[in-house]
Structure 1
C-alpha cells in the first residue's frame, strides 16, 4: 500500500505538474513520519525533499488544526494530494493533544472539509528551523551595530569602589543617554569593523557580548547598574545598549533566496579561518540586499591557485560546492548563518550563491 501511494503521488506529480522537478520529492520518501524531540524543520525537509530549501513550495497548512504552520514533537507528517499537487502536511497532532486527522479521502476532490477541533499548546514547544544550541548566543546578545550606534552608546566609566575589572554581581557606573529606571542593558565591546571585500563599503561593527546589567539609579547622565550576568570581564570604556532579547522564532522556514544573489563569507565566529558543520559565519549581505531569515545558500569553495606547467602563468581552478548554510539573523548590511552541511573544507573568503537543484540517491 505504501509503495502504491508513493508511486501514485510521484507519477501524478510528473504527469500533471510542470514544475515537479523543482519540488524534487525524494524517491525514498516515507509515507508518514512521527516528529521527535530534537528534530528541526531542516531535518524533516531533508527527509522528504531533494532540495530542502524549497519547503514553502510543498508545505500545506492543515486548516483543521490551530497554528498549522508549526510542527510539534509527536506530530505525524506525510504526503497528501491537494489541489492537483502532492503536498506535505500535518496528518495528526501529537499524542499530548486531541488527535486531528487529515485523511486522503477528505482531500481527494481538492477541497479539504473542515471538522471542529480545539487544541491549546505552548508555541515555544514547536520544533525550530535549525538547532537552537548552536545559535542561541547570537540571538540573545551578539549583534552588528553601525558606527553611529556605537558612538551613541553609553559607556562604563568606573566600577563600584573604583574597580577596573567588573563581573557578575558587581555594580558599575556608566555615562550616556538613559531610557529610565529599571531598564535592562546589554554590555558589549566593540569588535571588528567590517567592510565589503569587493566595494570596500563600511558594513558595520561586531558587538562582542559581555553580559547584561540592570539600572538601579540615575543622576544626570551618570547611572549606577547591577551586572546580572557576564561572559567575560567588563572593562572601563565598554559599551551598553538597551536590551532587545531575541528568541528563536519557530515560524521561519527554509526558503530560497532571490535569484542571482551572491556574496562572501566575512568571518567564522569563534574560529580562525576554517569553516565546518554547525559553525556560525558572518555574511556581507543583509536586509537591504534582500536577505531574510531562513534563506539557504550554497557555500562555494574557492579553487586553488596553481601554476600552468606550459606557459608558467598562475591560474585559479574552478570553485566547488563546499557546503550549505541557513541564515538565522539579519541586520541591515550583514547576516549570521549556520552551516548545515559541510562536504568540503571551507574558509573565510569563500563565496555563496542561491542553491542549485541537487539529486540525493
Structure 2
C-alpha cells in the first residue's frame, strides 16, 4: 500500500513537471509576437500558469492607391514624340491600291522609301504639333498614329503594304515608322514630383487647346525631370487688379485647375493624363509639383 502511494505521488509530480515544461515552451513560442506575457501562479507550487498575451500593432506606411489608366491605353499608344534633332521618317504612303485616295483595314497601300522585310509591321503616323518651350527652343514633334500596316512586297520605288488595323481612313502622305513596342501599364502608383518641378502644358495632340478630364496632354518636362507616376497640379495664371483707393496693383492667384499624372517620358517632353479637372484648362497652363506629399 505504501509503495502504491509513493508511485501515485511520483506520477503526479512527473505530470506536473511535464505540464510546466509544456507551459515554458508555449511562453517561448508566444513571446516574440506578443507585446507582453504575464504569468500568474495560482497554486501553492506554481503548478498552474495563466497566460495573458497582448499583440502589438505596427502602423503600415501610407501608400497612394493605384490609378487605373487601362481605359486610355490605346489612345496613349497612338502618340509618340520625335526628338528635336532626330531625322524625320522618310517612308510615306503614296496612294491606296488602284489609285485610291483613302484606305481602311484590309486594303493595300503603296509607299515609297520603305526599308524592311516582308511581314514587318509599321505604324502609320500623321505629323502633329511642333513642340517648343517658353524660350522657343525646339523640343520635338508629336506624331499621331492612324493605324498599323504589314509589309507584303518590298519594291523600288514603290512597296506594297496591307492595312491591318486603322480606327480612321488612311490617307496619302501618312508616314511609316517602326513600331516602338511601348505598352502603357494598366495601373500607375502616384508619387510626388520633386519640389521645384515647374513646366507647362504645350499640346493636346490633335484636339485643339482646351483640356478636360481624361485628356492626354504633352508637357515640356523630359525624363531627366519627371518619371511615370509623378503627379503634377495645373496652376491657373495669376491676375492683377487695381485697388481703387490706393491704386496699387494687387495679384490674384489663379488657383489649382486640375491634376496630371505623368504616363510616358521622352528626352525633352512627356505624355500625361488629366486625372482631376476642377476648372477649365488649356495648353499654356503652368504645371508644378503638388507639394502635399
Compute the TM-score of the two structures, normalised by the length of structure 1.
0.59
* Counterpart Cα distance in 2 of 1:356 and 1:229: 43
Matched, 1:132 2:70: yes
The counterpart of 1:267, out of the listed 189, 203, 224, is: 203
Please state whether the residue corresponding to 1:299 is helix, strand or coil.
Answer: strand
- Aligned partner of 2:239 in structure 1 is 304
Write 1 or 2 for the structure with the bigger share of strand. Answer: 2
Please state whether the residue corresponding to 1:87 is helix, strand or coil.
Answer: coil
Specify whether residues 315 and 266 from structure 1 end up closer, same or farther in structure 2 by C-alpha distance, changes over 3 A only: farther
- C-alpha RMSD of matched pairs (Å): 2.7
2:84 and 2:138 in contact (8 A); partners too: no
The counterpart of 1:283, out of the listed 216, 219, 232, is: 219
* Counterpart Cα distance in 2 of 1:323 and 1:222: 48
The Cα offsets for residues 36-67 of structure 1, whole Å up to 9 and x where unpaired, read as xxxxxxxxxxxxxxxxxxxxxxxxxxxxxxxx
Please state whether the residue corresponding to 1:152 is helix, strand or coil.
Answer: coil
Deviation at 1:189, TM superposition (A): 0.7
Matched, 1:253 2:185: no
- Aligned partner of 1:293 in structure 2 is 228
The Cα offsets for residues 299-356 of structure 1, whole Å up to 9 and x where unpaired, read as 1111235455457787652231222211111111111111112233322211111112
Gap regions ≥5 residues in structure 1 = 1-79, 90-126
Q: Which structure has the greater CA radius of gyration?
A: 2
Specify whether residues 322 and 295 from structure 1 end up closer, same or farther in structure 2 by C-alpha distance, changes over 3 A only: same
Deviation at 1:151, TM superposition (A): 2.5
Please state whether the residue corresponding to 2:253 is helix, strand or coil.
Answer: coil
* Counterpart Cα distance in 1 of 2:114 and 2:85: 14
Specify whether residues 149 and 223 from structure 1 end up closer, same or farther in structure 2 by C-alpha distance, changes over 3 A only: farther
Deviation at 1:228, TM superposition (A): 1.1
Deviation at 1:292, TM superposition (A): 0.9
Deviation at 1:269, TM superposition (A): 4.2
The counterpart of 1:232, out of the listed 164, 168, 184, is: 168
The 5 A counterparts of 1:65-84 are 81=58
- Aligned partner of 1:20 in structure 2 is none
* Counterpart Cα distance in 1 of 2:246 and 2:116: 67
* Counterpart Cα distance in 2 of 1:251 and 1:133: 10
